[in-house]
Amino acid sequence: EAAVTQSPRNKVAVTGGKVTLSCNQTNNHNNMYWYRQDTGHGLRLIHYSYGAGSTEKGDIPDGYKASRPSQENFSLILELATPSQTSVYFCASGDLGGRGEQYFGPGTRLTVL
Amino acid sequence: AQSVTQPDARVTVSEGASLQLRCKYSYSGTPYLFWYVQYPRQGLQLLLKYYSGDPVVQGVNGFEAEFSKSNSSFHLRKASVHWSDSAVYFCVLSVNNNNAPRFGAGTKLSVKP
């Protein structure tokens, strides 16, 4: 069965600190995505990737970096965390060039104090 | 630009009643359409998908959706809802290779016992 895991599941960070959220998929999918979910906004796309070594900006990339060192792993990096980045973050993988269904991880709840 | 609109942020129905959740999309070409469900504090799971062919597609747990090109719609239906159907439902549009999917804002469904 397709599987996407995220770590950590919960994170408390301080303003100005660096935060790295990790995502691993065992689906061998080319595409991976990072979203954040806030009340009233649904899911908003931060960064995505077509494959190892590639990253693309989504709709709200400011304040975030992404890294795709391998087919399986996709990280989201907050170099200088701010309270406005408090949210729930979801990673997903998908194939068929973005036309296929996505498989979502369980989410990471990030609180920036 | 491609977009998805879910006009109802919240829907409340009684258990056993029928359900329709509305979804309108904006795209002139061939859409690939999905409905996902998110139960509390979980990631998203696929309910059903439409690629082509029969405009009525069946999904899990008795859900179905009907694609209408003339109305640019992909409404989700269920004949008789159960309290366990209470969740947030997302309509998603994919359009072509390597364009990230577009999410609607979601509809929160509450089923009254």
The string of pLDDT tens digits covering residues A51-97 is 999 999 999 999 999 999 999 999 999 999 999 999 999 999 987 66
- Angstrom distance (rounded) from CA B53 to CA B26: 20
Torsion sign over Cα B39, B41, B42, B48 = positive
Residue pairs between chains A and B whose CB atoms are closer than 8 Å: 62
Give the CATH number for residue B7: 2.60.40.10
CB atoms B94 and A50 under 8 Å: no
Give the DSSP H/E element, type plus range, for residue B48: strand B44-50
Q: Is A52 at the interface with chain B, CB within 8 A?
A: no
Question: Which of the two residues, A100 and A62, has the higher pLDDT score?
Answer: A62
User: Does B113 score more than 70 pLDDT?
Assistant: yes
A4-99+108-112 carries CATH number 2.60.40.420: no
Total of domains in chain B: 1
Radius of gyration for chain B, computed over Cα atoms and rounded to the nearest angstrom: 14
Least CB-CB distance to B46: which of A50, A58, A101?
A101
Using alpha carbons only, what angle is made at residue B2 by residues A100 and A52, rounded to the nearest 5 degrees?
45
Query: Which residue reads 């190892």 in tokens?
Result: A52
Q: B101 contacts in A (CB within 8 Å)?
A: 94, 98, 102
Range of the domain at B64: 3-112
pLDDT digits (tens, 9 = 90+) for B60-95: 999 999 999 999 999 999 999 999 999 999 999 988
Cβ contact A68:A39 at 8 Å:
no
Q: State residue B71's pLDDT score.
A: 95
Strands A65-67 and B3-5: unpaired
pLDDT, tens only, B92-111: 998 866 678 889 999 999 99
Residue B60's SS3 state is helix
